[in-house]
Structure 1
Amino acid sequence: MMCGKKKGNLFGFIGVSVSFIDNDWNYFVQNLSPILFAWSHKVILLVEPIFNVLENHFLQEKDEY
């Protein structure tokens, strides 16, 4: 998480990263959309943007083996 200040307003970024190994044993890391939020945010307000990033990249589904 990075924080910054612009014209008196504090804000931060949360970066969402995903890593996985495919069937051929290749290791991948993907950096997904950063999320901008106000420094005085409420944690519950971050749930929806994080879920939207995961949903946009089809990562919200969990396979059960």
Structure 2
Amino acid sequence: MTTSYQDDTDLRRIVSLTQNEINQKRQKTAKDIIQGFNLMASRVVEENNIQIAATLSGSKHTDRKS
């Protein structure tokens, strides 16, 4: 039979492990979101550069990348 102290220690250990797992998942999610925003931003910049180049060269149509 375990003591109340042992139960508290085990419970704290479980809660600590769970909090660490939650924090790791939050950090991974935040990194994924940031990477997604960076990818979207780079695509916008690329599209703008294509449009600017087309405008400067006098072209009326631009090749759009999907």
More helix by share: 2
TM-score range, shorter chain: under 0.3
More strand by share: 1
Q: Which has the higher contact order (CA 8 A, sep 6+)?
A: 1
Larger Rg: 2
TM-score (norm 1): 0.27
